[in-house]
Chain A
Amino acid sequence: MPEIKEVARAADERKPWYKNKLWYLFNSLKLTLAVLITLAVVSIIGTVVEQNLPIEEYLTKYGEKWAKAILFFRLNDMYHSYWFLALLGMLALNIIVCTFERFPPKWKSLLNHKPERFDAKLIERFSNHQTITLNGNSDAVKEKLLNALKKKKYGIVESGTKGDYHFYAWKGRMGRLGSDVVHISLLLILLGAIIGSFAGYKDFRAVFVNGTMEVPDAEFKLRLDKFWIDYYDSGQIRQYNSVLTVIEGGKEVLSKQIWVNEPLYYKGIRFYQSSYGQAWNRVEEAYIAIKRKGSDGVETPVPVKWDTVQQLPNSRYSVKLVGYAADFAYDEKTNQVFSKSAEANNPAVRLEVYDGDKIVATPWLFMNYPGIFPAIPGADEDLVLTNYRPTMYSGLSINKDPGTNVVWAGTIVMGIGFILAFFVYHRRLWMHIRDTGRSTELKIGGMINKNTLVFEKELKEIIESIKAD
């Protein structure tokens, strides 16, 4: 007895420092179950409490008491709260510890087949086992058995001498590693998400047609060359499209048409079509008509392009289009014109009116109120805004996420892991052939790591092919 104690103490001393109670807690499958079920249950909260609303909305929706609780537990941004991340961290630790504990012994046992003799009685302990008596000598039976196993693509080791053979056969060893591969893939995906949250960013920019935008954290600019909408015959929207040009070091590097589902990717940054609209402070062109004193109607309007001078027909005046407000408003304090909203509720354009080279007036023309103020003081001609062509802008989401590739690598590893874990079964068979003199006895038994139904069938097939002549 003292010897045993000795051995136990030695084993205790050989234990590395980190194998303490905490380590074994994280090695437990019960913890895995607890964490998984907890994650499932608490994740529901975040789908019921709407995420990332302004604080006032929680107040009006839930009342002060509940809103306080929501903010205290960070239920307004639950999936990024520390406690939720801690749960994910526990799962990750659980995976890491389990892998460290289970993988090395598993790997060793998978590589190491014990070809030495084993106790034939053990075969009968398997729930799947059979003992059959066959005619023919032991070598003939052995031949048949090996053929049947080879046909089923088993690896085989044998030992023993004539009339007393032991066999061990195996198939689908890799299936054992499936769960480890899936676990490692989950760690990779988590790692990718962490990289993304530290090294990446998300942003949004609205760019006018023919306008350029600076890209945050990058050495290049983007220009929007075109924006348009495709429609189905029924009038429903088919697709939003933008043509973007990358400008780097003053040179155009590349041009690409993007749409929803087709982003532009350049130097680690993606640009997505995410919205569109009409500019509130500029237009492509305005249609200006002359109204002469004494006549009721207006003359044919002429298109005036943004920021260019246009001679008016049959007139001494030329005009330049310099301003636009979609929803005209005037701030008396600062003396400034601005747009109250982005909607074209009260569209107005500003012109510079030239008599030769000399500016004679800078009127605002209101489309909804023609002639409310005379455009050119003291002149016989008045100017009217009849229509305009809006400048479109394209809303681009910008996303830089260097973790994405790690996530994708993780998903590929996960796929491999699933195939191994669910569709490759580790089967092991132990067999003993014994010559009893007049006949030969074959004991066969074994196990599978999952899907016993398949195993029963296969064992039956092997035995039948040995029995058959």
Chain B
Amino acid sequence: MILSLVFFTFSFAFYLITALLYTGFWIFKKKWLGQTATAMAFVALMSTTMVLVTRAGESGHAPFSNLYESMVLFIWATNAGYLLMEFKHKFKAIGAIVMILEFLAMLSASLLPYRFKSVEPLNPALQNKWHWMMDMLSPMGLQNYAIGWLDFHVFTTFVGYAGFAIAFGLSILFIIKERSELRSGSGFMNALPGADIIDELSYRAIAWGFPFLSVGIVSGAVWANYAWGSYWSWDPKETWSLITWFIYAAYLHARVTRGWRGRRAAYLSIAGFLAVIFLYWGVSFILPGLHAYA
């Protein structure tokens, strides 16, 4: 409990600093601020990785089994996804909005009531390991480290959420940037890449998020078929994941339809992420169902 909490506290500070640095870079356009921001984002990623690793050590299972642990996973995946994007496309100013989101996520994870944070052993329904992997690892005595549908399902789903979170940030930026372009805008917005590029990047983020969410839903179905006896039971979590899937499917189709690119697509992306937030937090707190534990 102690070590992971230490890393969590550090990460909290790191994300705050990273968000401030990126915002500073956006406003002042100083190169060194941008470089420091990227370095700091990387430090924050390492620190978040350590939260997950130490937490796994403390609980004896992969850190994917309650709201707090999954929040850290979400923050980790969003950061990793953002850094990959920055590495590939070299646009730094958009980091500000992603890192502000990261900091807000960190804040909400730290404010969770204790019962969502405590280290718990896995309940019967969550214990799933792949036999083939256990068989493979058991000659080395490592069978306890085998992973299963729980790990796969949660991991893929959260990579999907991370993609949507980045796309959400970019869609907000798109709307702001598009407006400033129409008014042949202020200098403040010039640090951002053009609206069409932001639109494209936002699409790229969803193009990653959507297949991962789909794999997450499908792996959940495979697992549910194993644990609950049915691959689909219209449990609120399942239904909301499908709602989210419908919205992003609409987004992808909107992009190939004339007149739905740009602004409207950005609104769909924002609606999609609001659905993700409800799917993730809303369902867990408000709607009762089989996914009650996370």
The chain A residues found within 8 Å of chain B, CB to CB, are: 29-30, 32-33, 36-37, 39-40, 43-44, 46-48, 51, 79, 193, 202, 232, 234, 236-240, 259-263, 270, 272, 274, 397, 399, 401, 404, 407-408, 411, 414-415, 418-419, 422, 450-453
A47 & B240 in contact (Cβ 8 Å cutoff) = yes
A261 & B227 in contact (Cβ 8 Å cutoff) = yes
Interchain nearest-CB distance for A425 vs B (Å): 11
Determine the chain B residues whose CB is within 8 A of the CB of A419 once the complex forms.
211
Closest residue of chain A to B260, judged by CB? A33
B210 & A422 in contact (Cβ 8 Å cutoff) = yes
The CA of A452 and the CA of B207, in the complex, are separated in Å by: 14
Q: Which among A238, A272, A411 is the interface contact of B228 at CB below 8 angstroms?
A: A272
Report, nearest first, the 7 A-B pairs whose CB atoms are least far apart.
A40-B246, A418-B211, A260-B124, A36-B250, A272-B229, A397-B229, A47-B236
Determine the chain A residues whose CB is within 8 A of the CB of B203 once the complex forms.
450
* Sample of 11 further A-B pairs with CB below 8 A, known A238-B121, A262-B226: A37-B247, A37-B250, A40-B250, A236-B120, A239-B124, A263-B226, A270-B229, A272-B229, A408-B222, A415-B215, A453-B89
Determine the chain A residues whose CB is within 8 A of the CB of B124 once the complex forms.
237-240, 259-261
B200 & A453 in contact (Cβ 8 Å cutoff) = yes
The CA of A419 and the CA of B208, in the complex, are separated in Å by: 10
Q: Which among B204, B218, B228, B231 is the interface contact of A414 at CB below 8 angstroms?
A: B218
Closest residue of chain A to B124, judged by CB? A260
Closest residue of chain B to A259, judged by CB? B124
Interface string of B229-241 (1 = CB under 8 A from A): 1111010100110
Interchain nearest-CB distance for A175 vs B (Å): 12
The CA of A311 and the CA of B254, in the complex, are separated in Å by: 83
A404 & B257 in contact (Cβ 8 Å cutoff) = no
Determine the chain A residues whose CB is within 8 A of the CB of B123 once the complex forms.
236-237
Interface string of B261-294 (1 = CB under 8 A from A): 0000000000000010000000100010000000
Determine the chain A residues whose CB is within 8 A of the CB of B253 once the complex forms.
29, 32-33, 36
Interface string of B115-150 (1 = CB under 8 A from A): 000001101110110000000000000000000000
A261 & B125 in contact (Cβ 8 Å cutoff) = yes
Q: Which among B214, B230, B250, B287 is the interface contact of A418 at CB below 8 angstroms?
A: B214
Given contacts A33-B254, A46-B234, A451-B204, contact A39 B246 (CB under 8 A): yes
Determine the chain A residues whose CB is within 8 A of the CB of B176 once the complex forms.
none
B27 at interface, CB cutoff 8 A = no
Q: Which among A30, A51, A411 is the interface contact of B234 at CB below 8 angstroms?
A: A51
Determine the chain B residues whose CB is within 8 A of the CB of A51 once the complex forms.
234
B256 at interface, CB cutoff 8 A = yes
A260 & B246 in contact (Cβ 8 Å cutoff) = no
Interchain nearest-CB distance for B15 vs A (Å): 27
B257 & A29 in contact (Cβ 8 Å cutoff) = yes
Determine the chain B residues whose CB is within 8 A of the CB of A46 once the complex forms.
234, 239
B246 & A37 in contact (Cβ 8 Å cutoff) = yes
B197 at interface, CB cutoff 8 A = yes
The CA of A262 and the CA of B239, in the complex, are separated in Å by: 25
Given contacts A418-B214, A422-B207, A422-B208, contact A33 B243 (CB under 8 A): no
B240 & A422 in contact (Cβ 8 Å cutoff) = no
B33 at interface, CB cutoff 8 A = no
If over half of A's interface residues share one DSSP class (helix, strand or loop), that class is named, otherwise mixed; here it is helix
Interchain nearest-CB distance for A102 vs B (Å): 11
Interface string of B172-207 (1 = CB under 8 A from A): 000000000000000000000000010011011001
The CA of A438 and the CA of B117, in the complex, are separated in Å by: 75
Determine the chain B residues whose CB is within 8 A of the CB of A270 once the complex forms.
229
Closest residue of chain A to B234, judged by CB? A79
Determine the chain B residues whose CB is within 8 A of the CB of A452 once the complex forms.
200
A453 & B254 in contact (Cβ 8 Å cutoff) = no
A33 & B231 in contact (Cβ 8 Å cutoff) = no
Determine the chain A residues whose CB is within 8 A of the CB of B226 once the complex forms.
261-263
Determine the chain A residues whose CB is within 8 A of the CB of B246 once the complex forms.
36-37, 39-40, 43
Determine the chain B residues whose CB is within 8 A of the CB of A414 once the complex forms.
214, 218
Determine the chain B residues whose CB is within 8 A of the CB of A79 once the complex forms.
234, 239
B50 at interface, CB cutoff 8 A = no
The CA of A32 and the CA of B124, in the complex, are separated in Å by: 41
B225 at interface, CB cutoff 8 A = yes
The CA of A439 and the CA of B231, in the complex, are separated in Å by: 67
Q: List 12 A-B contacts (CB under 8 A).
A: A30-B257, A43-B246, A47-B236, A47-B239, A202-B229, A237-B123, A238-B121, A238-B124, A261-B125, A411-B221, A414-B214, A451-B200
B104 at interface, CB cutoff 8 A = no
Determine the chain B residues whose CB is within 8 A of the CB of A450 once the complex forms.
203, 207
Determine the chain A residues whose CB is within 8 A of the CB of B1 once the complex forms.
none
B236 & A260 in contact (Cβ 8 Å cutoff) = no
The CA of A232 and the CA of B260, in the complex, are separated in Å by: 55
A33 & B250 in contact (Cβ 8 Å cutoff) = yes
Given contacts A47-B239, A47-B240, A397-B229, contact A239 B250 (CB under 8 A): no
A260 & B227 in contact (Cβ 8 Å cutoff) = yes
The CA of A44 and the CA of B279, in the complex, are separated in Å by: 11
Determine the chain B residues whose CB is within 8 A of the CB of A263 once the complex forms.
226, 229
Q: Which among B128, B231, B239 is the interface contact of A404 at CB below 8 angstroms?
A: B231
B242 at interface, CB cutoff 8 A = yes
The CA of A240 and the CA of B125, in the complex, are separated in Å by: 10
Within 8 A of A (CB), among B15-63: none
B230 & A399 in contact (Cβ 8 Å cutoff) = yes
Interchain nearest-CB distance for A49 vs B (Å): 11
B6 at interface, CB cutoff 8 A = no
Given contacts A29-B257, A261-B128, contact A234 B287 (CB under 8 A): no
Determine the chain B residues whose CB is within 8 A of the CB of A418 once the complex forms.
210-211, 214-215
Interchain nearest-CB distance for A199 vs B (Å): 15
Interchain nearest-CB distance for A414 vs B (Å): 7
B13 at interface, CB cutoff 8 A = no
B5 at interface, CB cutoff 8 A = no
Determine the chain B residues whose CB is within 8 A of the CB of A232 once the complex forms.
121
Closest residue of chain A to B258, judged by CB? A29
Residue of A37, A47, A232, A259 with most partner-chain B CB within 10 A: A47
Given contacts A36-B253, A240-B124, contact A407 B208 (CB under 8 A): no
B112 at interface, CB cutoff 8 A = no
The CA of A462 and the CA of B119, in the complex, are separated in Å by: 54
Closest residue of chain B to A260, judged by CB? B124
Determine the chain B residues whose CB is within 8 A of the CB of A236 once the complex forms.
120-121, 123
Interchain nearest-CB distance for A285 vs B (Å): 28
